[in-house]
Amino acid sequence: MLSDRSYVRDGYPREKTSVLTWLICAIVAGFALQIGCYFLWPDGEASLRNELGLSAEALRAGHVWVLFTSSFLHAPNFLFHLGANLLALYFIGRELLPVLGSKRFVGLYTGAILTGALTWLAVHYRTGGSYIGATAGIEALLVVYACFYPHRRVDFLLFFAFPISVKPKHLAIGLLFFELFGLMYFELQQVQLPMGVAIASSAHLGGMFAGWFYFRYFHDVSWYPSTARAETELPRALKRSRKNAPVIPVPTIDMTNPSDVRAEVDRILDKINSHGFSALTADEKRLLDEAKDLLSRH
């Protein structure tokens, strides 16, 4: 039974709260702070946005933190912005977090937020204005998800009403063209939607670029590969010493012993929790797949 497996019992050491949960809570807390300021005193929400929102004036004043704090704020009069971001962050994040691991997930999201903020600044440095929202980071996650699973069928409700079934690669490409259109027609011409909502497509495009750049140049890249071919010829003494170096034996697992299998599965799951699923070797992936059927029979 599933409850017999050691990695689902209460005694198994695992992360109590994921970084995805903390991130969602931080965004909700930022919005709650906005609502509180809006009702507690006049111009409270506007003052908060001036302190934490991204603008060229804030950076000129030395408020570099607005490059990141702006991602925790959303327009109080446009709840669809917040709701869509939280839903997308949850559903995409829970798929990517086991693959990337906590550190890479946070690094990707933070890098996308920074890239989106800098891209928005490049467009609006002279025209002014302010920018808030986490869409740049979420669209970066979407691009990475589309790179991992381009043909996986995804079903969702468009505007929470219309059922849509689409492949991630088509969704990412369609979103790319939508943001390019928004940049050219809405943002550069300073056209606003109803209720004074402005589309920050430049920031969203920056986030999408950060997601593609991460997948293309950083994911699964070993900066210090131990098996890389030497570019220069080694001296003979080093060749002899390498040849005579002791070979570390690879431990074998007795697949007929459930306790040994459980111990190895626990070690592999710890590795996934720390470094992501992509850090596993081919043998570890094969053993994890075989262990599912073996442990289910005990």
3-state secondary structure 226-273: CCCCCCCCCCHHHHHHHHCCCCCCCCCCCCCCHHHHHHHHHHHHHHHH
pLDDT computed for residue 208 by the predictor = 96
Rounded distance between C-alpha atoms, residue 176 and residue 199, angstroms = 14
User: What averages of pLDDT result for each successive group of 10 residues across the chain (298 residues)?
Assistant: 45 65 94 86 82 90 92 83 90 92 94 96 87 94 94 75 82 94 85 69 95 90 44 48 46 64 76 71 75 61
pLDDT computed for residue 252 by the predictor = 60
Surface-to-core class of residue 252, CB atoms within 10 Å of its CB (0-12 exposed, 13-18 middle, 19+ buried): exposed
Task: For 61, list phi and psi in degrees, rounded to 5.
Answer: -85, 0
Question: What pairs with residue 166 in β-bridges?
Answer: 154
Contact yes or no for 268/287 (Cβ under 8 A): yes
pLDDT computed for residue 266 by the predictor = 76
Please calculate the CA angle 138-141-146 and round it to the nearest 5 degrees.
130
Contact yes or no for 192/198 (Cβ under 8 A): yes
Amino acid letter, 192? Q
- pTM reported for the whole predicted model: 0.69
Other CB atoms within a 10 A radius of the CB of residue 112 amount to 31
Q: What is the pLDDT of residues 158-186, one digit of tens each?
A: 666 677 788 899 999 999 999 999 899 88
Q: How long, in residues, is the chain?
A: 298
Rounded distance between C-alpha atoms, residue 214 and residue 95, angstroms = 17
pLDDT computed for residue 117 by the predictor = 95
**219: helix, coil or strand?**
coil
Rounded distance between C-alpha atoms, residue 168 and residue 139, angstroms = 12
DSSP output for 65-129: THHHHGGG---TT-HHHHHHHHHHHHHHHHHHHHHH-HHHHHHHHHHHHHHHHHHHHHHHTTT--
pLDDT computed for residue 221 by the predictor = 63
